[in-house]
């Protein structure tokens, strides 16, 4: 089976290989039964959107990144080829968006997408016609291809078989002049290309400079954990423990929330965790992640827990954390991502200080938050500091993070 003229290095000619990779190739047998490429990724299948433009492309031949939010409207091979023509862009460093990879290119004039022979026209026809793989040989009726078609029965859509084995097994050419109008792959890294150096975006904070004297750090990784970024050493003492509590539905024995815990090599000590905020409902409680920072010693006198948000990765607007400093006292505090740092003061804690922050928050809808160790939710460090002469001290250390919510007491002023 060959697409167009079959030459490698041309994106259109990979159509069948991509199709087979995703939905399989059914070998030919001696009993005359159907064989070939599966029905699932045939563009005539009603599961795809009839009449849609090429994936990631608008009517003018430019990029339409919104298509990535509805990938179900295209068969697998057309999604891959669409990305080859219009690679998505991602945040590489503060304020810098870059393409994930180099796009394929097409020859042609600079005229509009409607003009045959233009580069826009040639690229738009990367997508094969919807009826190119639908004829009597695979029991498919091109006249039934429409938005109203379905796979409910053998008569409700193009596939005329009740078992939907309308498998394709013939070569197809939709670009007879592929040598001139098919795209060209771009290989950024050849076999002999050396590995590129590590990036330096979002440099971590690797010292305790700026912390008040006597500050105690509860790190989000155990003492001695190797640092992933070069040139960054954790020279401080970890004065406590950091753990996670993963929820479930109280019936199952698995913890689905674990799939939403991620980590980055940035922030204080070149490490923080993050997840997504969740609403306080059945689903949110099932996917709830709680980060717990616990100081390993009792603090004598008045103390302060320092809160500092990471410079990236925390996209939720507000988040709530709880601080326990005595046998009967737990304080909730809601913080804004616009205020950093924040210093909740604690009077005479009579047991080791503990801070908790979870991914469940009022009004959440899947926004990122950190734990440096919490906020999409991020998780990182807790930093209790002694307070002398009742004066609040400013501190830029990272502490603990949590998602938005309500509070029982106001944020104290910072002086």
Q: CA neighbours within 13 Å on the CB side: how many for 240?
A: 26
Q: So what's the pLDDT on residue 351? A: 65
Could you read off the pLDDT of 262-294 as tens digits, one per residue? 988 888 888 888 888 888 888 889 999 998 989
Does position 104 have pLDDT exceeding 50, yes or no? yes
- What token pair was written down for 369? 């938050």
pTM here is: 0.62
Q: N- to C-terminal Cα distance for the chain?
A: 73
Nearby residues of 128 by Cβ (< 8 Å), 6 or more positions away? 3, 12, 15, 43, 78, 172, 174
Confidence of residue 103 (pLDDT cuts 50, 70, 90): very high
Average pLDDT estimate for 350-365:
74
- What token pair was written down for 103? 């796009």
Q: What whole-number distance in Å separates Cα of residue 71 and Cα of residue 47?
A: 11
Q: So what's the pLDDT on residue 59? A: 96
- What token pair was written down for 252? 């199952």
**What integer best gives the mean pLDDT of the chain?**
81
Does position 83 have pLDDT exceeding 50, yes or no? yes
CA separation, residue 400 to residues 102, 202, 218, 229, 333 (Å): 39, 19, 9, 21, 12
For the chain, helix, strand, coil in percent to 5 are 15, 25, 65
CA triple 76-79-81, angle to 5 deg: 110
Q: What whole-number distance in Å separates Cα of residue 57 and Cα of residue 78?
A: 11
Share of the chain above pLDDT 70, in %: 77
Residue 296 CA, chain-centre distance (Å), reads 35
Confidence of residue 368 (pLDDT cuts 50, 70, 90): low
Could you read off the pLDDT of 231-240 as tens digits, one per residue? 888 888 889 9
Could you read off the pLDDT of 170-180 as tens digits, one per residue? 999 999 999 99
Could you read off the pLDDT of 308-348 as tens digits, one per residue? 666 676 666 666 677 776 655 676 666 665 544 445 555 55
Confidence of residue 380 (pLDDT cuts 50, 70, 90): low
Contact 94, 101 (CB under 8 A): no
Q: So what's the pLDDT on residue 337? A: 56
């Amino acid at each position: 089976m060959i697409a167009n003229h079959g030459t490698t290095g041309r994106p259109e000619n990979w159509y069948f290989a991509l199709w087979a990779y995703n939905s399989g190739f059914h070998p030919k047998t001696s009993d005359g039964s159907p064989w070939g490429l599966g029905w699932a990724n045939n563009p005539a299948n009603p599961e795809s959107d009839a009449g849609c433009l090429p994936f990631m492309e608008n009517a003018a031949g430019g990029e339409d990144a919104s298509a990535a939010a509805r990938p179900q409207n295209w068969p697998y091979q057309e999604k891959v080829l669409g990305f080859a023509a219009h690679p998505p862009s991602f945040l590489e460093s503060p304020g810098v968006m870059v393409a994930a990879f180099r796009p394929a290119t097409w020859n042609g004039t600079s005229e509009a997408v409607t003009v045959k022979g233009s580069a826009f026209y040639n690229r738009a026809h990367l997508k094969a016609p919807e009826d190119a793989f639908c004829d009597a040989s695979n029991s498919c009726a091109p006249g039934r291809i429409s938005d109203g078609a379905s796979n409910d029965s053998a008569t409700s859509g193009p596939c005329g078989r009740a078992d939907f084995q309308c498998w394709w097994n013939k070569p197809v050419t939709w670009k007879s002049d592929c040598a001139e109008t098919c795209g060209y792959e771009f290989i950024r890294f050849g076999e002999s290309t050396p590995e590129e150096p590590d990036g330096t975006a979002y440099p971590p904070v690797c010292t305790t400079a700026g912390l008040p004297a006597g500050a105690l750090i509860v790190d989000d990784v155990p003492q001695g954990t190797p640092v992933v970024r070069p040139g960054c050493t954790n020279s401080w003492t970890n004065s406590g423990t950091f753990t996670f509590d993963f929820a479930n539905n109280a019936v199952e024995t698995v913890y689905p929330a674990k799939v939403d815990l991620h980590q980055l090599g940035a922030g204080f000590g070149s490490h923080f965790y993050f997840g997504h905020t969740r609403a306080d409902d059945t689903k949110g409680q099932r996917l709830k992640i709680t980060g717990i920072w616990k100081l390993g010693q009792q603090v004598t006198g008045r103390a302060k827990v320092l809160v500092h948000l990471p410079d990236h990765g925390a996209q939720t607007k507000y988040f709530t954390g709880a601080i326990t400093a005595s046998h009967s006292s737990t304080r909730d505090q809601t913080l804004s991502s616009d205020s950093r740092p924040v210093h909740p003061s604690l009077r005479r804690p009579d047991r080791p200080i503990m801070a908790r922050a979870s991914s469940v928050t009022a009004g959440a809808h899947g926004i990122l938050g950190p734990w440096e160790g919490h906020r999409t939710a991020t998780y990182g460090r807790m930093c209790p500091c002694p307070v002398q002469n009742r004066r609040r001290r400013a501190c830029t250390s990272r502490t603990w993070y949590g998602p938005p919510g309500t509070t029982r007491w106001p944020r104290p002023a910072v002086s």
